[in-house]
């Protein structure tokens, strides 16, 4: 299905990213995997080479929350990219700032991927049927992002930090991004499809610091990754759609609507414009 297609996955060294990589490699895709931790990334790449000797795998250390690293990485990506899977994420860490002074969850889950997608746009346009997959979460329903300004987007005040609200806000931002990207790609006449996905309740490694007695009831990473793999490869999906488990927290992938707030066009436009200001450049030349 994906023979010789090029898939780039952020956070590809474990969890949902590695499970997605395995599923897509089994379909014949060549892979570029990026992640923050070198040792785990090298180990994952070697395991994939062992299991899928006929595909090409390239791995590179990249912290997507570091915008300068994102820029340097993107400069060297000249081959067509058929699927960009914006998968890397943080969930509920202690308060920390990226090197640019942005709260770490928003920097990793959303802002770094916004910039990465922008900088890889030409490589995506080179592919025949390119897709950008943005990873949201069921907790986007608890996201707010209703009174947006640069200060709230940066979130760099530790006294205002609520780790779980910030996680929900970052995942709502990812969904807003996917939907706004769809609108702007269409306006620009681009063939790139933007599709969002969420895994439901899956134990992926993000939860390792927050064990719960009900964790045995959750999906594993392979099951959780089904939604984003479906979003990446399913024929006939339209731009701007959202894929999640059929039982919300568990199950096979299906099209879902998400929260009403996540379809607020004014908020998604405002978030986009603020993010362009934060990264210091427009996403598209005419945006």
State the catalytic residue, choosing from 19, 20, 136, 152: 136
Q: Residue 249 and residue 104: Cα distance in Å, rounded? A: 26
Query: What distance separates the 2 farthest-apart alpha carbons in the chain?
Result: 52
H-type helices in 1-85, by residue range?
15-26, 38-51, 67-75
For residue 15, count other CB atoms closer than 10 A to its CB: 24
For residue 189, count other CB atoms closer than 10 A to its CB: 6
3-state secondary structure of 259: coil
Q: Residue 22 and residue 245: Cα distance in Å, rounded? A: 20
| Rama region for 99: left / alpha / beta (φ>0; ψ in -120 to 50; rest) | alpha
∠ Cα 82 73 34 (to 5°): 65
What single-letter DSSP state applies at residue 13?
Answer: T
Catalytic status, residue 136: yes
Q: Residue 52 and residue 43: Cα distance in Å, rounded? A: 14
Residue positions annotated with a catalytic role: 136
């Amino acid at each position: 299905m994906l023979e010789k297609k090029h898939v780039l996955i952020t956070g590809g060294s474990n969890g949902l990213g590695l499970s997605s990589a395995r599923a897509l490699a089994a379909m014949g895709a060549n892979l570029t995997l990026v992640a923050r931790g070198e040792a785990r990334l090298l180990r994952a790449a070697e395991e994939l080479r062992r299991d899928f000797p006929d595909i090409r795998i390239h791995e590179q250390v990249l912290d997507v929350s570091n915008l300068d690293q994102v820029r340097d990485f993107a400069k060297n990506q000249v081959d067509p990219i058929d699927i960009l899977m914006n998968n890397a994420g943080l969930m509920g860490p202690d308060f920390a700032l990226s090197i640019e002074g942005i709260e770490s969850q928003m920097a990793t889950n959303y802002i770094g991927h916004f910039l990465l997608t922008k900088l890889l746009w030409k490589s995506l346009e080179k592919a025949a049927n390119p897709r950008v997959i943005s990873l949201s979460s069921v907790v986007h329903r608890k996201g707010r992002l209703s009174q947006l300004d640069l200060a709230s987007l940066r979130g760099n005040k530790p006294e205002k930090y609520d780790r779980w609200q910030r996680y929900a806000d970052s995942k709502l931002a990812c969904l807003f991004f996917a939907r706004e990207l769809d609108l702007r790609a269409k306006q620009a006449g681009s063939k790139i499809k933007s599709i969002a996905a969420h895994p439901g309740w899956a134990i992926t490694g993000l939860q390792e610091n927050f064990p719960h007695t009900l964790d045995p009831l959750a999906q594993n990473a392979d099951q959780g990754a089904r939604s984003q793999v479906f979003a990446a490869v399913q024929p006939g999906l339209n731009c701007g759609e959202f894929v999640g488990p059929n039982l919300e927290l568990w199950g096979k992938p299906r099209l879902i609507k998400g929260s009403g707030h996540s379809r607020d066009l004014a908020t998604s436009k405002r978030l986009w414009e603020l993010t362009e200001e934060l990264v210091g450049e427009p996403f598209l030349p005419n945006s």
